[in-house]
């Protein structure tokens, strides 16, 4: 199969766009889609300092690589969840990646700062590890972005992540989460960093192909706690639909975004301004007196106490 843009051999077929690309044209395509998302959705400019949350996996390292290549001012944040060998290896990948490019890397260690890794913490408070992990990561992503004066926090969520999350929310009619499903969550109040998802126009397999052809050294295995996660089931269902009908994921998620925009729905910024206030314990924005992170940590400390 030939590349649709040049005479070289194609390395990836992209049925949803009726195209196929060689290594060079695939790299241009991925960079172009990221640039388009950043500009179209007014995520940030070359004057902004962008903090990229990285896990050591293909998505976040691709995002860091593409933004750095495009000339954006990026730094990385890694939250070490303390999951045995998996965390050690993913942290080593992130350290090697950022050091090779001369990028600033912030590291938050759960075992040092929260006193336990994610699995022990989750056991202490009798919550699923992934639910505790989400609360902890959101807290530290926002904290580091605000404390170090970054204009925006970027995460490596891709089209598959967003479409499967949307499917999960729709299946359960969790409409309260839908206004947070956009690729941009504005810095609506003081102490709340702007959050963006510049990979939302790209499917997981396109990002994986970019990472392989550009020889990015990422951790291939998933977090061990992901086994059995509902999101993997939703991704599998969407992948089967995509195989039968290319473009389904894109039509589902982008269609949702277009409908949301056309209806001029209440934005997260407006909802936040009405509800958020500083947490009495840590000062980060929350809708209650104490934020979920501080409640969780207080419960962990109380359970641990003799
Ligand atoms: Fe966190 Fe769960 Fe994802 Fe692992 S699988 S990184 S524990 S949310």
Show me where the domains of the chain are located: 36-304
Ligand 1 proximity of 213 Cβ (cutoff 6 Å) = no
The predicted structure's pLDDT at residue 275: 78
The predicted structure's pLDDT at residue 222: 92
Tens of pLDDT along 272-294?
556 788 899 999 989 899 999 99
**pLDDT exceeds cutoff 60 at 267:** no
Record the pTM.
0.94
Q: Which one is predicted more confidently, 26 or 189?
A: 26
What number does the ligand 1 atom closest to the CA of 137 have? Answer: 1
**How far is 132 from 128, CA to CA, in rounded Å?**
7
Residue 55 alpha carbon to ligand 1 centre in Å: 10
**How far is 11 from 21, CA to CA, in rounded Å?**
6
User: Is the Cα dihedral 285, 287, 289, 290 positive or negative?
Assistant: negative
**How far is 56 from 93, CA to CA, in rounded Å?**
6
Ligand 1 proximity of 129 Cβ (cutoff 6 Å) = yes
Q: Do 145 and 152 meet the contact criterion of CB atoms below 8 Å apart? A: yes
Q: Do 83 and 89 meet the contact criterion of CB atoms below 8 Å apart? A: no
Ligand 1 proximity of 110 Cβ (cutoff 6 Å) = no
| CA 94 to chain centroid | 15
**Which residues, other chains included, contact 243 with Cβ-Cβ below 8 Å and sequence gap of 6+?**
none
Nearest CA to ligand 1 atom 7: 130
Q: Is 36-304 in CATH node 3.40.50.620?
A: yes
Provide the pLDDT confidence category of residue 3 given band limits of 50, 70 and 90. Answer: very high
Tens of pLDDT along 57-114?
999 999 999 999 999 999 999 999 999 999 999 999 999 999 999 999 999 999 999 9
The predicted structure's pLDDT at residue 305: 67
120 exposure class (CB count in 10 Å sphere: 0-12, 13-18, 19+):
middle
Element (H, E) at 67: helix 58-69
Tokens matching residue 50:
């962008």
Nearest CA to ligand 1 atom 5: 226
Ligand 1 proximity of 223 Cβ (cutoff 6 Å) = yes
**How far is 257 from 275, CA to CA, in rounded Å?**
24
CA dist list (Å): 260 to 157, 199, 254: 19, 19, 10
**How far is 154 from 53, CA to CA, in rounded Å?**
6
Summary mean pLDDT of the chain: 94
Tokens matching residue 79:
């939250």
**How far is 164 from 181, CA to CA, in rounded Å?**
11
**Which residues, other chains included, contact 129 with Cβ-Cβ below 8 Å and sequence gap of 6+?**
118, 119, 122, 225
Nearest CA to ligand 1 atom 2: 130
């Amino acid at each position: 199969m030939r590349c649709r843009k040049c005479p070289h051999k194609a390395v990836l077929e992209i049925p949803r766009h009726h195209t196929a690309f060689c290594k060079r044209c695939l790299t241009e395509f991925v960079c172009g889609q990221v640039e388009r998302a950043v500009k179209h959705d007014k995520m940030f400019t070359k004057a902004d300092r962008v903090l990229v949350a990285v896990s050591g996996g293909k998505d976040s390292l691709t995002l860091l690589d593409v933004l750095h290549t495009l000339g954006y001012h990026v730094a990385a944040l890694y939250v070490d969840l303390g999951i045995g060998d998996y965390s050690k290896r993913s942290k080593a990948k992130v350290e090697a990646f950022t050091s090779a490019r001369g990028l600033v890397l912030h590291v938050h260690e759960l075992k040092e700062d929260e006193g336990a890794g994610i699995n022990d913490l989750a056991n202490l408070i009798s919550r699923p590890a992934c639910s505790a992990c989400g609360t902890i990561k959101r807290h530290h992503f926002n904290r580091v972005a605000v404390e170090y004066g970054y204009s925006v926090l970027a995460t490596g969520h891709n089209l598959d992540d967003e479409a499967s999350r949307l499917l999960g929310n729709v299946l359960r009619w969790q409409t309260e989460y839908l206004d947070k499903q956009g690729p941009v969550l504005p810095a609506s109040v003081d102490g709340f960093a702007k959050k963006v998802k510049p990979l939302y126009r790209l499917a997981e397999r396109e990002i994986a192909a970019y990472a392989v052809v550009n020889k990015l050294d990422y951790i291939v295995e998933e977090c061990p706690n992901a086994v059995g996660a509902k999101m993997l089931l939703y991704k599998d269902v969407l992948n089967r639909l995509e195989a039968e009908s290319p473009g389904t994921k894109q039509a589902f998620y982008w269609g949702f975004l277009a409908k949301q925009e056309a209806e001029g729905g209440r934005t997260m910024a407006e909802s936040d301004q009405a509800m958020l206030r500083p947490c009495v314990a840590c000062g980060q924005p929350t809708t209650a007196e104490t934020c979920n992170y501080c409640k969780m940590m207080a419960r962990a400390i109380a359970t641990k106490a003799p």
